[in-house]
Amino acid sequence: MLRAIADSLEARFNPVAVKGELIGFSRAASGHCYFSLKDEQGQIRCAMFRRAASLLDFPPRDGQLVEVRGRLGVYEPRGELQLIVEAMQQAGQGNLFERFVQIKNKLEAEGLFDAGRKRALPLLPKAIGVVTSLGAAALHDVVTALQRRAPHIPVVIYSASVQGAQAPGELRQALQLAYARAEVDVLLLVRGGGAMEDLWAFNDEELARLIVASPVPVVCGVGHETDFTIAEFCADLRAPTPTAAAELCAQPQKVWLGELVDLQDRLRCGVERQLQASNQRLDWAAARVTRPSHLVTRQHARLGGHTQGLRHALQSAIQREKSNLQAMSLAFPQALGQNLAHQQRRLERAQLRLAPLDPKLVLQRGYAWLADMQGQAVTGVADTAPGQALRATLADGEVDLTVSTPRLI
């Protein structure tokens, strides 16, 4: 019956988030933590196993208001309802926000946010680097915007996680790789929106210092317009969204094509003004000569030659510019396609290297993964008790077991 109750709780409620006051907090020698959570309506017994407890970033104490996430279950030996806690934080946003303010004040006092040290973006970047996750929607938005505005500019992607405990380290590695390669002259550090916890990787102090040390300008577009992170304060330019970051660092191609047309018009007008001035000087000289038939004929011939030469030079210059523009228009899609194909091949090679690390291959050699009924890994005899229900995961399925007599080797 207890098993049926536990299954019903699992199906109907889990996972759950609970806010309450810590009562009777204790940490066992094994590293597991035991306590109760209390509010105005009542209290519930809780257990937090060693792995989850090791991730705590503050010392819990009785009377402290906290928020926990976990799974409801039944402790069958005593028939008691309990909450297996998987994460705990101090109540509300205060803890994260306080850390954010501390880091911000420290770096601001050191001058890392000073406007005087920030650089202007290159007017015509030779290549644009993008630091973000390959699976992020922000990457699609940035690439789409750059293809639409400036398809002639190559885009280099430096992949990194943008959320989770490993994200700050991967972001730093991606920036260091971009600095070492020196193949772009502007970097976009982008991610989509989310809660403060989701964006926390961009508040990393080491990442902020690495952004300030960048050899090229950095544009940071993290989250939405109302989201602010430490990385954005340190960047040379903050963009309200990832798409806006792409638009800020690349002028539309049609702007530069318009500039070429304007230059062509200015050249033509200049030549025409020069011809008109020459004609006026010739007319003035002819009016002062009484019988200049031979001289006038010679000057007309010279003027005709100059006129023809100038027109030919103008037409040749215009034709060369048109040819160059057509060649550039044909080369841009091909270069972009080659770059995308290169990145795809790199991704496929990475997948091939990861395949041998699949944990299922270990299970196929006769090993098993042992866990309690809450899904927590059992790595030693100290984590078991007589009568405890366990679950063994094999290569082709799962087996439910019951501990008879724990024995140390």
Within the chain, which residues score under 70 in pLDDT? 1-13, 92-97, 195, 226, 253-259, 262, 286-296
Nearest to 208 by CA among 185, 235, 181: 235
Positive or negative, the CA dihedral 254, 255, 260, 261 is positive
Residue 274, classed as helix, strand or coil, is helix
Pairing of strands 43-48, 80-90: parallel
Q: Tell me the angle at which helices 94-109 and 205-212 cross, rounded to the nearest 10 degrees.
A: 30
Positive or negative, the CA dihedral 142, 145, 149, 155 is positive
Q: What is the pLDDT of residues 269-314, one digit of tens each?
A: 888 888 888 887 887 776 666 555 666 677 777 887 788 888 888 8
CA distance 171 to 136: 14
Nearest to 99 by CA among 234, 229, 239: 229
CA distance 87 to 99: 18
The model's pTM = 0.46
CA distance 90 to 19: 9
Q: What is the pLDDT of residues 33-42, one digit of tens each?
A: 999 998 888 8
Q: What pLDDT sits at residue 15? A: 81
Q: If residue 89 lies in a helix (H) or strand (E), which one and from where to where?
A: strand 80-90
CA distance 222 to 212: 17
